[in-house]
Amino acid sequence: MSIPADLKYTPSHEWVRVEADGTLTVGITHHAQDLLGDMVFIENPATGRSLAKGEECAVVESVKAASDVYAPVAGEVISANADVESSPEAINKDAYSAWMFKLKPANAADVAGLMDAAAYQKLVESEAH
Amino acid sequence: MERKRASLKFLVTVMSNQAASTPAALKHTPLNATHRELSAKMVDFGGWDMPVNYGSQIEEHHVVRTGCGLFDVSHMLPLDIKGANVRAFLKRLVANNVDKLQVSGKALYSCMLNEAGGVIDDLIIYFMDESWFRLVVNAGTAEKDLAWMEKMNADWDMGLTLTPRRDLAMIAIQGPNATQALNHALPGVDSITAHLKPFNAAAMGEMFIARTGYTGEDGYEVMVLAKSAPFFWKALMEAGGKPIGLGARDTLRLEAGMNLYGQDMDETTSPLESGLAWTVDMKTERDFVGRAALEKSEITQQLVGLLLLDKGVLRGHQKVLTKHGEGEITSGTFSPTMQQSIALARIPLGIAPGEEVEVEIRDKKLKAKVVKYPFVRNGKVLI
């Protein structure tokens, strides 16, 4: 599956979409879900929680293993996707539409520090060899 | 607080490396090329390059509960023990009593203990004739087991020949449609499958057909010559069998309440505290390795089933809090059949089925109910 060009990425395999109003939608990448396998449990951060960049804020659990999800930038959680919590397999079906939570970034300019699709593609390739 | 959870980055890195590690460094079963043709996700499984799934682990799990699944279990080692003293040897070597085996082809599940009463391995023993028994031992313990058995063979002056059968492949055919698939794939085998009872085996030419498994479903474990394995596998697939990876093998065996060596018991644990007392024969006077230690031991713990009442997933090594003290989960997973998390846990004696305990998961204490396992048998939830 190709890596969407309109999204931003983190080295820890989260994707970030910058919405028109400047808020950020966050999920985990197709590559991450592919390696983790069937998702069975998602724990999202509470709405209103203030996150530091890189803070552990969510958990994804596949049949195989549990793993942390990190805040891509500093900000406040403005919503969490209840649908993905009740149907974690949505992440396996389409990782880029099954978002996990939305952030209001503390500083809009921080998004520029995230990876673009080409850089993320390189990271995935380098980890595979 | 001790961290037991991995970051997504760490897991992705480890799993990518597993997928890309040089296959040459790993041991291959005779079906390795077959798995790759089927686009299996391959992982390093204790030094073996094995399929963890062929797509979705959960779908594979359901196939075995409702249809017919095929597993490559050739990493496990069949071992032939031959000689006049083979029965006497096994009566001393293992904790269950091979005198229960009097009819050719009959199988027995047993632990092999050390002098301290710890479990060296769990294995299946088939009685062929008075000078030939066949054992099947775990992949990860095969070399250790063989060295131990050879030492006992020498120490007790038994004069037996132990032959590891790496020339054989082993395919498990499991699920309600297993008999139908096997009958289609192997013309003539219906004369055997029609009469073969659970936990019995029969030879058919070079093949060895056992009605055994590790899923809680009806099915077979068939040993074939390594060179024939890819053809046999393809015939089974044409007969409706679907390939199943080791991922689903683990969720299936846990639902079936079957112990996994290295997780639910090992050399430091007693079979009597691992839910395996039923496999230890203390009724006869027979002296076997580990018996003296077991007789002196004080049993303080038990292996129980847990059903998570809150949302989350139970995993091995999570702490269990009970009114009689702490215990630990030995195996935990999400049960695809029950759509709920289940586990085996070693907890203090005196906690009965139906009682609630707490499990520490990350920074939370979640509620779980103690239950009698198995959780699932023959496609039906028993809890």
Q: What is the ipTM of this complex?
A: 0.88
A-chain residues within 8 Å CB-CB of B342?
none
pLDDT score recorded for residue B19: 53
Task: Determine, yes or no, domain membership for A112.
Answer: no
Task: Determine, yes or no, domain membership for A94.
Answer: yes
- Classify the phi-psi angles of B362: left when phi > 0, otherwise alpha if psi is within -120 to 50, otherwise beta: left
Distance CA A68, CA A79 (A): 18
H-type alpha helices, A37-116: 82-86, 90-93
The chain B residues in contact with chain A (CB within 8 A) are 5-13, 15-17, 19-20, 41, 52-53, 56-58, 247, 251, 311-313, 315, 333-334, 336, 341, 362
Helix (H, G, I), strand (E, B) or coil at B182: helix
pLDDT score recorded for residue B11: 65
Taking only the tens place, the pLDDT of each residue in A77-95 is 999 999 999 999 999 999 9
For the cut 60, the answer to whether the pLDDT of residue A70 exceeds it is: yes
pLDDT score recorded for residue B16: 58
A-chain residues within 8 Å CB-CB of B311?
41
In angstroms, the separation between the Cα of residue B375 and the nearest Cα of chain A is 17
In angstroms, the separation between the Cα of residue B299 and the nearest Cα of chain A is 32
- For B112-138, what is the HEC assignment? EECCCCCEEEEEEEEEEECCEEEEEEC
pLDDT score recorded for residue B1: 36
For the cut 50, the answer to whether the pLDDT of residue A121 exceeds it is: yes
Distance CA A107, CA A75 (A): 8
**Any idea what the CATH number is for the domain that residue A16 is in?**
2.40.50.100
Name the residue among B16, B312, B333 with its Cβ closest to that of A127: B16
pLDDT score recorded for residue B17: 54
Distance CA B49, CA B350 (A): 43
Are B127 and B140 spatial neighbours (Cβ–Cβ below 8 Å)? Answer: no
Arithmetic mean of pLDDT over chain A:
95
Residue intervals in chain B for CATH 3.30.1360.120:
68-237+260-297
pLDDT score recorded for residue A127: 81
Which CATH superfamily hosts domain B68-237+260-297? Probable tRNA modification gtpase trme; domain 1 (3.30.1360.120)
What residues have CB less than 8 Å from B121, skipping those under 6 apart?
Answer: B111, B112, B137, B138, B141, B144, B145, B261
Give residue A94's domain range.
8-107
Mean pLDDT per 10-residue section of chain B, whose length is 383 residues = 56 58 79 98 95 96 98 98 98 98 98 98 98 98 98 98 98 98 97 97 95 98 98 98 98 98 98 98 96 98 98 97 98 97 98 98 95 97 95
Window 24-63 of A, Cβ < 8 Å to B: 28, 31-32, 35-38, 40-41, 43, 59-61, 63
CA atoms within 13 A on the CB side of B64: 36
pLDDT score recorded for residue B10: 64
Query: Domain total for chain A?
Result: 1
Local structure of residue A7 (DSSP, 8 states):
-
- CATH topology for the B300-383 domain: Elongation Factor Tu (Ef-tu); domain 3 (2.40.30)
Are A28 and A60 spatial neighbours (Cβ–Cβ below 8 Å)? Answer: yes
Task: Determine, yes or no, domain membership for A25.
Answer: yes
Taking only the tens place, the pLDDT of each residue in A101-111 is 999 999 999 99
For the cut 90, the answer to whether the pLDDT of residue A2 exceeds it is: no
Task: Determine, yes or no, domain membership for A62.
Answer: yes
pLDDT score recorded for residue B25: 87
Name the residue among B20, B53, B315 with its Cβ closest to that of A66: B315
For the cut 50, the answer to whether the pLDDT of residue A45 exceeds it is: yes
